[in-house]
Amino acid sequence: MEEKEIHLVKKVSKELGLTYKELGEEIGYSESTLRKSVSENRITIQLKKAIELYLKTLKFEESQKEIEKIKDNIRTLFEFSKR
């Protein structure tokens, strides 16, 4: 039996722990538009791209946090080595 693919909006909302309203606010769509997309099991190219860009942005922000941690560690090591 073929497994049905989970709608992208539903999948991303669940993974990020966001309501459709919260996700919509982040990507510039209304809650009703997202609900309609899920209920009709359809997604526009624009909506798909908006979600993909939002996910890329989240990954980028996370990597920036990691880079800042590394920079702080290097500063700490540098200051420690000066003593």
Residue ranges of domains in the chain: 8-82
pLDDT tens, position by position, 63-78: 999 999 999 999 998 8
Tens of pLDDT along 21-57?
999 999 999 999 999 999 999 999 999 999 999 999 9
Tell me the CATH class for 8-82: mainly alpha
Which two tokens mark 76? 């700490």
Structure confidence at residue 82 (pLDDT) = 75
3-class state of residue 12 by DSSP: helix
- How many DSSP H helices and E strands does the chain contain? 4, 0
